[in-house]
Amino acid sequence: METKREKIIVLVQKAKESTGLFSSSWEHLWRFCHNPDLTSVELASLEELLLSEDWEELNHRFYKAPSFGTGGIRGRTIARRVTLAEKGTPDSFGCPEHPATGTAMMNHRTVRLATASLGMHLKECFPGKTIQVAIAHDTRHFSQSFAQEAAQVLSRMGIEVILFPEERSTPQLSFTIRWKQAQGGIVISASHNPPHDNGFKAYGPDGAQLVEPDAGAVVARFDRLANRLETPQWAESRGKISLLGRDGDLAFVEALSNVVLEPKLFESEAHKIQAVYTPLHGTGARIFPLLFEKWGVPLLLEPEQAIPDPRFPTVVSPNPEDPKAFERALRLARQTQADLVVASDPDADRMGVAVKTRQGDYELLTGNQIGSLLAFYRCDMLKRKGLLTERNASRAVLLKSFVTTDLIKAIAHDFGVPCIETLTGFKYMGAKLRRYEAEHGILYPQELSPDEKAGFQLSQGRFLILAAEESYGFLGGHYAHDKDSHGSALMLVESLLWARVHGQTLVEYLQGIYQRYGTYRERLITLPLEGPSGLEEVQTLLDSYRDTPPDRLASFTVKRVVDFQREDIYDQEGDLVPKEPMLVLELEGDRRIAIRPSGTEPKIKFYLFTRQASGSDVSLAIGRAEKELDALWQALQSENQKRLPQDSQSFGKVPSQAPNGSSRAF
């Protein structure tokens, strides 16, 4: 009698004759159906899709092999068409009982491959040692199930696991690795992606995401496992799985407090302000109330969005870059006359803010503005306190990505502080922190006061003033090696209190920075290139700009093209920057354009930068800068139309524009 798997194989053989199924999809499907351990859900799902000849759905599920990038995995866990077997008995949120079947999907099979790859790498790096791995997950569909699956895989490999019993943030995972001196970590999260997505990120013993050569080694392991060229070696005895208790939260809150530079501001002023916070249905509600209570800052949570919900039902996108994500929190802020509104994404590593203006309305700050404001405040306060001096400024550091505002670089130069630029992705900043730690150490007696700790680092080590990315990611201390919304919010509250004491709003404080250094404006525009050919079109467009760059854009001459993939580029410390598919077009004046593909999706990003002399009227300088950015983007749109295939699915689609240069008033 023919088995279900044999029937599937026959159906797949017939599907090869279809013109609707891509050859690559068929090859991945053919290999997949020969897996000896296919589950009943996987078999039933394949049968349903093959019998209905839904080639489009099969293409989306099988257009690529399982892949673990250097940034981890991110993809759909709920398919566009959910099969009856996958639907099963939906949970209370309407989520299917089982994740989507397919080699291009994020499911339990993918999690097992990724976890085993990391586990094998760690066992190779720490031979003969007891290995611990911390695992955290966000509030997304299947996140807890994937975290438990990863824990079981590691346990079977003889690796001990520290598992959070409920959702916790990515920065808390980074901190926990360091606090528990674990050898690695895993976060199950897809950040601000749509509800149907999930992801997997791997961390090293320093609490940072893996970079080369470790990232490449894990990717190679994954590919070998996915191609069945290698199988994990299971241990004779299982590794212990321990649940982390409330002490983990309290330790994290205590560590976060090290970002405060002037505690007296909180003692005298914190009770006079009101903050509103929304975790956007994510993990942030676990720590934010504890942290703000510790520092005496009155905090109101947006009630509906404080409830963990994998559907993110009250927002279009759970993204603190998106002004629409602030609508409910701003409504609460107006009702309570709050001074500050903070939002974090589902894994609470990124932070967006809206601040009250002199006129009583609210203005959203961009990631570039937040980073500039924090960089200036922290440099200025350290100098005022006598901690940052001409003698030790070289031991301090500001970190930023190449696509983050150059205003931070100008601030660093003014204070005599090195500003080190990295590729996009906080893991590269984490790698810098790991190097500083290895060379100088960051350990100091815990009984020291915050001032004494800063002085200790500035005299004997490297002191991180701020790490900043334009995508709303910041870090103000060595307690973690990843971006952190919790500590960022505390730093921003401190700067607000300082401005308030001096009769300013944060918007006015920022305008003072512009008057001092010039008005820097930036804009990020993301062009989606959808469909199975999307990734190819991304590469086509990037290659076109590389091989035949424009001579002019708008009225500005293109003076130089910097190719981060083909050129050897060294950072300010003399370190070779890893190769990455990114181009920077340097234009006349203080203007530049960076072009890079998304690291996780078929999208290409355009970063536009300009600077205007501020004079006495910042608003006029802002107007001039915005007109320049408009003209540059119009020129780029014309270039894109010439460079993309005429049948591209991107034509007619509206690029998404993050407000990275323009504050928004509400």
Q: Say which residue, 318 or 599, is predicted with more confidence.
A: 318
Q: 628-638: buried (b, 16+ CB within 10 Å) or exposed (e) per residue?
A: bbebbbebbee
Backbone angles phi, psi at 453, to 5 degrees: -65, -45
Q: Model confidence at 656, in pLDDT bands (50, 70, 90)?
A: low
Strand-pair partners of 276: 300, 341
Q: Tell whether 263 and 294 lie within a shared domain.
A: yes
| pLDDT over 60 at 1, yes or no | no
Give the pLDDT confidence of 408-422 residue by residue, as tens digits.
999 999 999 999 999
Residue 535 falls inside a structural domain: yes
Domain shared by 490 and 556, yes or no: no
Per-residue pLDDT of 19-54, as tens digits, reads: 899 999 999 999 999 998 999 999 999 999 999 999
In this predicted structure, the answer to whether residue 649 has a pLDDT above a threshold of 90 is no
For residues 433 and 431, give the distance between their C-alpha atoms in angstroms, rounded to a whole number: 5
Which of 170-179, 455-464, 468-477, 537-546 has the least mean pLDDT? 455-464
DSSP of 323-345: GGGGHHHHHHHHHHT-SEEEEE-
> Are 571 and 661 part of one and the same domain?
yes
In this structure, the answer to whether residues 336 and 443 fall within a common structural domain is: yes
Q: How many domains does the chain have?
A: 3
Burial of 257 (0-12, 13-18, 19+ CB in 10 A): middle
CA distance 443 to 434: 13
Q: So what's the pLDDT on residue 663? A: 41
In sequence order, the 6+-apart residues with CB closer than 8 A to the CB of 419 are 397, 398, 399, 400, 408, 409, 412, 413, 572
For the ranges 136-145, 275-284, 653-662, the lowest mean pLDDT is seen at: 653-662
Is the pLDDT assigned to residue 311 strictly greater than 50?
Answer: yes
- Give the per-residue pLDDT at 457: 83
Based on the domain organization, do 179 and 279 belong to the same domain? no
Q: Specify whether the CB–CB gap between 323 and 364 falls below 8 A.
A: yes
Alpha-carbon torsion, ordered 43, 47, 50, 52, to 10 deg: -150
pLDDT per residue as tens digits for the range 467-498: 999 999 999 999 999 999 999 999 999 999 99
Per residue in 342-355, pLDDT tens? 999 999 999 999 99
| Residues ≥6 apart with Cβ < 8 Å to 277 | 284, 288, 292, 299, 300, 301, 302, 329, 341, 342, 343, 344, 489
Domain boundary pick from 196, 213, 244: 244
Could you give the residue numbers annotated as active site? 191
Task: Give the structural domain span for 581.
Answer: 518-665
Q: What is the pLDDT of residue 380?
A: 98
Q: Residue 363: inside a domain, yes or no? A: yes
> Of the candidates 224, 244, 264, which is a domain's last residue?
244
In a domain? residue 60: no
Boundary (domain end) residue, out of 226, 244, 262: 244
- Is the pLDDT at 95 greater than 90? The verdict is yes
The answer to whether residue 78 sits within a structural domain is: no
Q: Give the gyration radius of the chain's Cα atoms.
A: 25
Strand partners, 594: 584, 607
56 occurs within a structural domain:
no
Which residue would you say has higher pLDDT here, 561 or 232? 561
The predicted structure's pLDDT at residue 449: 78
With contact defined as beta carbons under 8 Å apart, do 460 and 439 qualify? no
Q: What is the CATH number of the domain that holds 643?
A: 3.60.90
Same domain, 469 and 573: no
Exposure of 240 in the CB half-sphere (CA atoms within 13 A): 7
pLDDT at 653 over 50: yes
Cross-strand bridge partners of residue 527: 604
CA 377 remoteness from chain centre: 24
Percent of the chain exceeding pLDDT 70 equals 95
Asked whether residue 193 falls in the same domain as residue 277, the answer is: no
445 pLDDT above the threshold of 90: no
CA distance 407 to 121: 40
Task: Tell me, yes or no, whether 124 and 142 share the same domain.
Answer: yes
Q: In this structure, is residue 34 part of a structural domain?
A: no
Task: Indicate if 377 and 498 belong to the same structural domain.
Answer: yes
pLDDT above 80 (res 645)? no
Confidence of residue 665 (pLDDT cuts 50, 70, 90): very low
CATH code at 122? 3.40.120.10
Residue 310 predicted with pLDDT over 70: yes
The two tokens of residue 557 are 């001459």
Q: Is the pLDDT confidence value at 660 over 50? A: no
* 328 against 231, higher pLDDT: 328
Measuring CA to CA, which residue among 573, 532, 438, 423 is closest to residue 71? 423
Q: Are 413 and 327 found together in one domain?
A: yes
Average pLDDT over residues 210-221: 94
Q: Is residue 86 part of a domain?
A: no
Confidence of residue 666 (pLDDT cuts 50, 70, 90): very low
Strand arrangement, sheet containing 583-587: 552-553, 556-563, 583-587, 591-597, 603-612, 519-528, 656-658
Q: What is the pLDDT of residue 451?
A: 81
Res 662 pLDDT > 60: no
Task: Please give the pLDDT value at position 498.
Answer: 99
Is position 182 within any domain? yes
The per-residue pLDDT for range 420-430, each reduced to its tens digit, is 999 999 999 99
Mean pLDDT score of the chain: 93
Determine the average pLDDT of the residues in 184-191. 97
pLDDT (mean) for 510-526: 96
Residues 461 and 478 sit within 8 Å (Cβ to Cβ): no
pLDDT > 90 in the chain, percent:
83
One domain for residues 501 and 441: yes
According to DSSP, residue 126 is labeled S
| pLDDT tens track for 364-375 | 999 999 999 999
Q: Does residue 207 sit in the same domain as residue 263? A: no
